[in-house]
Every structure is written in C-alpha cells, then in structure tokens.
C-alpha cells in the first residue's frame, strides 16, 4: 500500500459518519497497514519464537509464537535467571546468578537449537540482568556490584564499570548503547551510566595526563524508585 493510497483512504474516513462506523473503518485501515509493513509475517514459514526459562528443570524452551507449542528444550546452567536474544534472533544468552556467586552466561544457538560453550564472567560474579545492544551482550553482576559487556565477535569481556551498590540487579541499555540503566535492589535505587566525551587530559577514572576519549561515567543515581 503506497503513501498516496493511504492518504486517500484516511481522507475518506474523516468524512465517514457516525463515529462508530469511522472507528471500524480505521481498524480496517490499521490492519491493512500492519499487513503491508510486515509482508504478511503471520503466513511466514518461519514464525518468531518465544524463549522461556525453567529454573526447576534448568532448561530454555524455544516456543512457536503462533501455536504456542514447544519446538525444543536446551539445557542451561544450575541457576538460570534472565534470557536475551541477539538482534538477529540467532543466539540466546542466559545468566546464572547463583546467589551472587556464579560466573557463567550460557550461550544457545537458536538455529541449531543447541548449547554452545559458556561465557566465563569472572571477576564479574553473579550475572543477573542481561541486554543485547549495539552487537554486544550487557549484563549486571550482583556479586561484583557492577555491570559488564561481552563482545561475541572477539569472545571477550571488553568493558565493565562498578556501581558501588548492593545487588545491582536488572539492566536496560539504550539502542545506541549510550546509556545504561541498572536497578540496585537493596537500597531501591537506579544507577544511570552515560557514555560521554571526557575533557582533555582526563581518563574515565579522572586521571590526568591521558588523551581525550569517550567513556562511561555515572550520570546520576535515582533514589527511592517508586513501584508502579
């Protein structure tokens, strides 16, 4: 459906009365636009899947999102908590917290439906919250009071930063990977880390004598987060 056709349909709907008929017409237009934008994804031979963790069975279930039937179950670690898929949907990553003492993130090939070698997060122990942004895996580390980043391309942990707060729990990373939001359970706060341009002669830790570079720094901490 091209832009001109959409404009003409919308103009016609504006002149429809009464309001109840207009609402029905708008619903039909919305359905047509969604279908056109997704090229009829519901009829695709490869529907999107859901990922569900079982702490009791220590498995990751891959579920058909249309039929809601389990396609496969893949074994994960002893204390799975959170799961995230890569942007292209081919890989999944599962954190194992272990009361803040574990140090593994499970890697699952969603295409082959099998487990791959784990990521060793030490010294960032107790991985819990997890996100995927800018081609990298970001996670909170409860035991280390920190957040970390893993690069699937190099197979290495390439960055970390402490929050200094007990039980750094869940994590959210913006799409451009410029800001990180992470919750701190024990004190009910949110730490915000921002990737900013540092002044000349300063490193991320504030040490003089180094060239200017981009780096994360604590932007603020929001105390007493209210439940909604």
Q: What is the pLDDT of residues 70-119, one digit of tens each?
A: 999 999 999 999 999 999 999 999 999 999 999 999 999 999 999 999 99
CA distances from 201 to 13, 59, 219 (A): 61, 49, 20
- As a whole number, the mean pLDDT across the chain is 79
Interhelix angle 3-14/19-38, nearest 10 degrees: 170
How far apart are the C-alpha atoms of 118 and 104, rounded to whole Å?
Answer: 6
Confidence of residue 196 (pLDDT cuts 50, 70, 90): confident
CA 198 to chain centre: 27
Stretch 201-209: mean pLDDT = 50
pLDDT in tens, 207-228: 444 444 455 555 544 443 333 2
Three-class SS of the chain: CCHHHHHHHHHHHHCCCCHHHHHHHHHHHHHHHHHHHHCCHHHCCCCCEEEEEECCCCEEEEEECCCCCEEEEEECCCCEEEEEECCCCCEEEEEECHHHCCCEEEEEECCCCEEEEEEECCCCCCEEEEEEECCEEEEEECCCCEEEEEECCCCEEEEEEECCCCCEEEEEECCCCCEEEEEECCCCEEEEEEEEECCCCECCCCCECCCCCEEEEEEEEECCCCCC
pLDDT, position 8: 57
What is the model's pLDDT at position 222?
44
Q: How sure is the predictor about 195, in pLDDT bands with cuts at 50, 70 and 90? A: confident
Task: For residue 224, give every residue at least 6 positions away whose Cβ sits within 8 Å of its Cβ, in sequence order, or none.
Answer: 188, 189
| C-alpha triplet 221, 227, 228: angle, nearest 5° | 120
Q: What is the pLDDT, as a whole number, of residue 221?
A: 45
> What is the Cα–Cα distance from 221 to 33, expressed in whole angstroms?
42
Sheet holding 49-54, edge to edge: 49-54, 59-64, 70-75
Whole-number pLDDT of residue 102 = 94
Residue 79 tokens, joined:
């204390």
pTM value is 0.70
pLDDT in tens, 36-59: 544 443 333 346 899 999 999 999
Contact 180, 193 (CB under 8 A): yes
């Amino acid at each position: 459906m091209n832009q001109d056709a959409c404009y003409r349909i919308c103009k016609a709907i504006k002149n429809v009365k009464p309001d109840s008929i207009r609402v029905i017409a708008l619903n039909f237009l919305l359905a047509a636009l969604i279908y056109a934008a997704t090229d009829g994804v519901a009829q695709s031979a490869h529907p999107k899947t859901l990922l569900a963790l079982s702490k009791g069975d220590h498995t990751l279930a891959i579920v058909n999102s249309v039929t809601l039937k389990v396609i496969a179950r893949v074994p994960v670690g002893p204390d799975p908590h959170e799961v995230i898929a890569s942007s292209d949907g081919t890989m999944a990553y599962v954190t194992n917290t272990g009361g803040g003492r574990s140090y593994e993130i499970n890697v699952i090939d969603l295409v082959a439906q099998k487990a791959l070698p784990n990521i060793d997060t030490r010294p960032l122990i107790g991985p819990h919250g997890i996100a995927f942004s800018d081609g990298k895996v970001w996670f909170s580390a409860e035991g280390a009071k920190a957040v970390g980043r893993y690069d699937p391309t190099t197979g290495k942990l390439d960055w970390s930063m402490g929050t200094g707060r007990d039980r750094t729990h869940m994590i959210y990373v913006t799409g451009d990977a410029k800001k990180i939001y992470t919750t701190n359970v024990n004190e009910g706060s949110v730490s915000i880390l921002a990737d900013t341009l540092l002044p000349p002669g300063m490193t991320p830790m504030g040490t003089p004598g180094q060239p200017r570079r981009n780096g994360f720094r604590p932007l603020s901490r929001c105390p007493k987060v209210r439940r909604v």
